[in-house]
């Protein structure tokens, strides 16, 4: 009895415990279940039926992609629904799954914003939202996720549908809340549209091992503090707008040691420290403006697999020691200024693994490379490498002459006889017609029997695609302002266009960031017109770089008549042997500008006894201006020579402006002349305001 009476409550308690645990294990924590269902509701498309098991007949811990703790009641600790093709919004209800440690929704098509409520998931260690179509900023609430180790929100740029609009992408400035995540190991922000600078404090996230900021729009300097990341394994910074140096302090990378900075605007010399990191594995610095030489230490990097330094301005020779690296699989040094002997050992035997195109001073190497033989050592070991302007004049069966001017020059073994220059050679000599650091002018004179030399024409056609605004097209016609003679089938608008085109070209020559080039022989016959009456400046026969100049090559062409510039167009300081400067080109341009509108050559017989075309203009401006302008133009515009007041005011104003620009250019003292930048700006303004009326 005692036994029975005493066992009854125990049994009840027992049963109660069982039933409670049954309820709990059936329904678990209801908050979790309801939150998951809300998440499912916000998914509008589930092509793989991944969420079909998410129904009332199954416990949520057995729903696809859901993992629970083994505790009682069981709680959701992980959701992995990556790569399921899900379309929809990410429901804020996920923020109620407070036991969640791992959440992956990567590679789906989730849109909308990252819910702020995720900031409640204090236990979260990994969050993968990469490769979706999320938009907006990263919510600052995520700063509360102190346990976070992996935060990957890359690739929310153009996935799931192309978008031109920043509001359809993850964007904004660098998320400052990251500073609070002191356990971060992986941080992926790549392939989004983040802007602004990368903060120095990022170097304080000491636990970081993988940092990917590539393919955004970050600007400013690469923070030097990143060198404090002593556990760093992979650093991706490529395809942004970074400027400045690659911080020389970088020097601690763990294996496998990857660093990429390709496609930025980085300057300065190679950070040699990086080539002293024994664990470095992959280095990609392509498409920047890096200079300096490759250190011989590179040969000590026994784990190096890929080295890509293409499209920079590296000089010096290729260290022979690179051929000793047994793990090296790809070496891209193309399009630099490397010179000297190409090694033949190791990777240099595998020509699919080595890229060295576009380095004009290179010689030797494997036969298949078809590089010139290295010169037998002479006292002047750089004989084959000329760093001056090159002019190649090639008479082609007395039918055509091609003038090529390239900077810097680099045809190896450039001898005294005429070199045979093929399209390939040209491509090589001009860095594949790079517009960034070359000036190429190609001019074909008087092709009497066009088509006679088929291969030549074919090459011309290939070259025709070489475009550099108003500077470098190839022209197969002989039409120039000069030879066209009669500027009278040209209206005011077209004349203005020619002036603007030429000023643009000169502005580029004078003020490009690559250095200053002075044309020195600007005259109408060097201004070529194409079929659309677009003007191009050609024939850099006398051109020189600000730095140094030596005339190379043969000059028996038409350019040789003008060794000291051309009478009438040459600035007064040049005629008396003074210093040649950009102002000298400005002077010549001014003369041409006046000539275009007055239609009288500066050598016209009326300009003698000290009267120049500039003085003539000066004397007649402003009230008698229509008396000196090309009569045909005046007539065409319906302007009265006598009466400026009733004339087409806009056309008259335009003419006055242009003539005064011409006068500003032709001041006798070089220092009084305006710069090509100003000229170009003013002419654009005149043209725009004139065209606005018609
Ligand atoms: C479920 O969990 C939430 C938050 O942890 C808690 O507030 C709630 O009481 C739990 N519900 C049950 C039925 O255990
Ligand atoms: C509920 O989920 C189970 C799998 O767990 C599935 O077999 C069943 O078809 C689902 N029921 C409905 C109505 O979708
Ligand atoms: C989950 O959280 C949201 C707010 O983020 C709230 O509106 C909702 O009611 C919660 N759902 C459950 C099932 O607790
Ligand atoms: C959750 O993420 C952490 C950190 O990345 C990882 O160590 C752990 O294995 C993950 N757990 C699950 C269940 O995926
Ligand atoms: C991104 O998702 C698309 C499908 O939506 C897939 O084809 C692609 O491989 C994914 N990319 C990555 C890096 O996972
Ligand atoms: C982030 O850290 C700062 C400074 O320690 C603190 O003031 C701030 O409250 C933190 N933010 C969150 C969301 O925890
Ligand atoms: C990087 O480390 C140096 C030296 O340890 C320290 O002075 C500097 O403050 C650190 N910078 C950051 C951003 O952590
Ligand atoms: C990226 O930056 C460049 C240069 O600052 C700017 O011209 C461009 O508009 C930016 N792109 C976007 C999408 O913000
Ligand atoms: C080097 O980098 C550039 C830019 O990313 C790329 O186009 C080129 O293919 C790379 N070369 C090799 C060998 O990977
Ligand atoms: C040559 O290099 C290429 C590219 O790295 C590689 O695929 C190939 O296996 C190499 N061939 C030999 C014979 O090593
Ligand atoms: C003239 O302009 C048109 C349109 O811009 C272009 O397609 C054509 O190639 C140009 N012709 C010449 C000879 O440059
Ligand atoms: C100009 O010509 C004279 C004589 O023809 C020559 O002595 C002088 O060197 C030339 N000047 C330049 C800069 O070529």
Tell me, using a 6 A CB cutoff, whether residue 465 lines ligand 11.
no
What is the model's pLDDT at position 464?
A: 47
Which has the higher per-residue pLDDT, 164 or 535? 535
Which residue has its alpha carbon closest to ligand 2 atom 10? 53
Mean pLDDT, residues 369-393 taken together: 49
Rounded-to-integer distance, Cα 612 and Cα 603, Å: 9
Compute the mean pLDDT over every residue in the chain, rounded to the nearest whole number. Answer: 78
pLDDT digits (tens, 9 = 90+) for 345-373: 999 999 999 999 999 899 999 988 888 88
Which residue has its alpha carbon closest to ligand 9 atom 4? 286
pLDDT digits (tens, 9 = 90+) for 117-150: 999 999 999 999 999 999 889 999 999 999 999 9
Phi first, then psi, for residue 372 (nearest 5°) are -65, 155
Mean pLDDT, residues 12-33 taken together: 53
Radius of gyration of the chain (CA): 36
Tell me, using a 6 A CB cutoff, whether residue 321 lines ligand 5.
no
Going by C-beta distance under 8 Å and a sequence separation of 6 or more, which residues neighbour residue 148? 124, 125, 126, 127, 142, 181, 183, 184
What is the model's pLDDT at position 435?
A: 47
What is the model's pLDDT at position 8?
A: 43
Query: 66 pairs with which residues across the strands?
Result: 79
Which is the catalytic residue, given 190, 332, 521, 630?
521
Per-domain boundaries in the chain: 26-100+107-122+132-146+159-183, 241-369, 384-446, 476-692
Q: How confident is the model at residue 539 (pLDDT cuts 50, 70, 90)?
A: low
Instruction: Scan for tokens 């210093």, then name that residue.
Output: 579
Domain 241-369, architecture per CATH: Alpha-Beta Horseshoe (3.80)
Rounded-to-integer distance, Cα 224 and Cα 229, Å: 10
Lowest mean pLDDT among 145-159, 447-461, 495-509: 447-461
Tell me, using a 6 A CB cutoff, whether residue 532 lines ligand 11.
yes
Ligand 11 atom nearest to 473, measured from its CA:
14
- Tell me the three state secondary structure of residue 197: strand
pLDDT surpasses 80 at 633: yes
Q: How confident is the model at residue 432 (pLDDT cuts 50, 70, 90)?
A: low
For domain 476-692, give the CATH number: 1.10.510.10
Mean pLDDT, residues 156-167 taken together: 49
Instruction: Scan for tokens 């092509």, then name that residue.
Output: 47
Which residue has its alpha carbon closest to ligand 5 atom 13? 131
Distance, C-alpha 151 to centroid of its chain: 29
What is the model's pLDDT at position 6?
A: 43
pLDDT digits (tens, 9 = 90+) for 496-506: 998 999 999 88
Mean pLDDT, residues 656-671 taken together: 94
Residue of 118, 122, 143 with the most ligand 6 atoms within 8 Å of its CB, for mutation = 143
CA of 109 to the centre of ligand 3 (A): 23
pLDDT surpasses 90 at 200: yes
CA of 166 to the centre of ligand 9 (A): 28
Which residue has its alpha carbon closest to ligand 12 atom 2? 564
Torsion 650-651-653-654 (CA) sign: positive
pLDDT surpasses 90 at 438: no
Rounded-to-integer distance, Cα 359 and Cα 353, Å: 17
pLDDT surpasses 50 at 403: no
Which residue has its alpha carbon closest to ligand 4 atom 10? 102
26-100+107-122+132-146+159-183: which CATH topology? 3.80.10
Ligand 6 atom nearest to 140, measured from its CA:
13
Active site residue 521: yes
Rounded-to-integer distance, Cα 588 and Cα 411, Å: 32
What is the model's pLDDT at position 377?
A: 58
DSSP state of 114: P
| 35 closest CA partner among 89, 80, 96 | 96
What is the model's pLDDT at position 642?
A: 56
Tell me, using a 6 A CB cutoff, whether residue 563 lines ligand 12.
yes
Ligand 3 atom nearest to 95, measured from its CA:
5
What is the model's pLDDT at position 650?
A: 83
Judge whether 26-100+107-122+132-146+159-183 and 241-369 match in fold: yes
Mean pLDDT, residues 42-68 taken together: 95
CA of 48 to the centre of ligand 5 (A): 15
Contact (Cβ atoms closer than 8 angstroms) between residue 488 and residue 629: no
What is the model's pLDDT at position 214?
A: 96
pLDDT surpasses 50 at 166: no
Tell me, using a 6 A CB cutoff, whether residue 255 lines ligand 7.
no
* Ligand number with the minimum distance to the CA of 158: 5
CA of 191 to the centre of ligand 8 (A): 14
Mean pLDDT, residues 560-569 taken together: 58
What is the model's pLDDT at position 480?
A: 57
Q: How confident is the model at residue 378 (pLDDT cuts 50, 70, 90)?
A: very low
pLDDT digits (tens, 9 = 90+) for 288-338: 999 999 998 899 899 999 999 999 999 999 999 999 999 999 999 999 999
Rounded-to-integer distance, Cα 522 and Cα 592, Å: 8
CA of 354 to the centre of ligand 10 (A): 10
Query: 269 pairs with which residues across the strands?
Result: 291
Helices 649-665 and 613-620, packing angle to 10 deg? 140
Going by C-beta distance under 8 Å and a sequence separation of 6 or more, which residues neighbour residue 673? 583, 586, 587, 590, 664, 665, 666, 667
pLDDT surpasses 90 at 26: no
Percentage of residues of the chain with pLDDT beyond 70: 71
Mean pLDDT, residues 516-522 taken together: 78
Rounded-to-integer distance, Cα 580 and Cα 518, Å: 8
| 152 closest CA partner among 182, 175, 131, 173 | 131
What is the model's pLDDT at position 373?
A: 87
CA of 141 to the centre of ligand 6 (A): 10
Rounded-to-integer distance, Cα 94 and Cα 626, Å: 79
Cα pseudo-dihedral 345, 347, 353, 355, rounded to 10: -50
Q: How confident is the model at residue 557 (pLDDT cuts 50, 70, 90)?
A: very low
Rounded-to-integer distance, Cα 202 and Cα 225, Å: 7
Evaluate if pTM is beyond 0.75.
Answer: no
pLDDT surpasses 70 at 444: no
What is the model's pLDDT at position 148?
A: 97
What is the model's pLDDT at position 646?
A: 52
């Amino acid at each position: 009895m005692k036994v029975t009476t005493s066992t009854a409550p125990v049994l009840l308690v027992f049963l109660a415990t069982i039933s409670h645990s049954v309820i709990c294990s059936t329904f678990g924590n209801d908050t979790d279940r309801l939150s998951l269902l809300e998440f499912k509701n916000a998914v509008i498309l589930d092509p793989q039926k991944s969420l079909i098991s998410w129904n009332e007949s199954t416990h949520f811990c057995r729903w696809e992609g859901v993992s629970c703790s083994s505790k009682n009641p069981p709680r959701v600790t992980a959701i992995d629904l990556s790569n399921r093709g899900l379309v929809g919004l990410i429901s804020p209800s996920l923020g109620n799954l407070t036991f969640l440690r791992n959440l992956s929704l990567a590679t789906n098509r989730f849109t909308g914003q990252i819910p702020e409520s995720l900031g409640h998931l204090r236990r979260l260690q990994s969050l993968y939202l990469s490769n979706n179509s999320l938009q907006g900023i990263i919510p600052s609430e995520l700063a509360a996720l102190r346990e976070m180790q992996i935060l990957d929100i890359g690739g929310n740029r153009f996935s799931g549908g192309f978008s031109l609009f920043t509001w359809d992408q993850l964007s904004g400035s660098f998320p400052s809340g990251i500073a609070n995540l002191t356990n971060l190991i992986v941080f992926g922000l790549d392939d989004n549209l983040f802007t602004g600078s990368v903060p120095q404090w990022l170097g304080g996230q000491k636990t970081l091992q993988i940092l990917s900021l590539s393919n955004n729009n970050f600007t400013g300097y690469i923070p030097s503090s990143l060198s404090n990341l002593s556990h760093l394994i992979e650093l991706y910074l490529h395809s942004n707008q970074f400027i400045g140096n690659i911080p020389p302090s970088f020097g601690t990378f763990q294996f496998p040691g990857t660093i990429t900075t390709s496609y930025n605007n980085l300057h300065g010399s190679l950070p040699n420290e990086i080539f002293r990191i024994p664990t470095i594995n992959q280095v990609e610095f392509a498409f920047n403006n890096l200079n300096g030489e490759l250190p011989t230490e590179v040969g000590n990097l026994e784990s190096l697999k890929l080295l890509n330094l293409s499209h920079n301005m590296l000089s010096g020779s290729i260290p022979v020691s690179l051929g000793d690296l047994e793990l090296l699989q790809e070496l891209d040094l193309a399009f630099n200024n490397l010179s000297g002997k190409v090694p033949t050992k190791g990777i240099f035997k595998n020509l699919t693994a080595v890229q060295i195109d576009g380095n004009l001073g290179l010689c030797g190497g494997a036969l298949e490379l078809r590089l010139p033989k290295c010169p037998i050592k002479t006292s002047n070991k750089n004989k084959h490498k000329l760093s001056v302007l090159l002019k190649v004049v090639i008479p082609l069966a007395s039918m055509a002459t091609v003038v090529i001017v390239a900077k810097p020059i680099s045809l190896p073994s450039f001898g005294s006889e005429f070199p045979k220059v093929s399209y390939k050679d040209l491509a090589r000599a001009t860095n594949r017609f790079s517009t960034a650091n070359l000036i190429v002018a190609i001019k074909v004179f008087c092709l009497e029997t066009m088509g006679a030399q088929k291969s030549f024409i074919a090459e011309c056609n290939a070259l025709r695609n070489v475009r550099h605004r108003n500077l470098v097209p190839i022209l197969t016609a002989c039409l120039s302002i000069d030879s066209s003679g009669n500027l009278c089938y040209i209206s005011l608008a077209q004349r203005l266009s020619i002036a603007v085109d030429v000023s643009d070209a000169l502005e580029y020559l004078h003020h490009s960031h690559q250095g200053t080039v002075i044309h020195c022989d600007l005259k109408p016959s060097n201004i070529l017109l194409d079929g659309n009456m677009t003007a191009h400046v050609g024939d850099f026969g006398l051109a020189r770089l600000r730095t140094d100049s030596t005339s190379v090559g043969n000059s028996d062409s038409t350019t040789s008549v003008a060794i000291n510039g051309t009478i009438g167009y040459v600035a007064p300081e040049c005629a008396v042997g003074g210093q040649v400067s950009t102002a000298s080109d400005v002077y010549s341009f001014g003369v041409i500008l006046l000539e275009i509108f007055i239609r009288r050559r500066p050598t016209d017989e009326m300009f003698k006894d000290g009267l120049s075309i500039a003085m003539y203009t000066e004397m007649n401006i402003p009230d008698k201006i229509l008396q000196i302008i090309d009569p045909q133009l005046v007539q065409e515009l319906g302007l009265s020579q006598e009466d400026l007041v009733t004339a087409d005011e806009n056309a008259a104003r335009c003419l006055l402006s242009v003539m005064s620009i011409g006068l500003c250019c032709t001041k006798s003292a070089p220092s009084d002349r305006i710069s090509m930048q100003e000229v170009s700006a003013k002419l654009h303004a005149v043209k725009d305001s004139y065209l606005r009326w018609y």
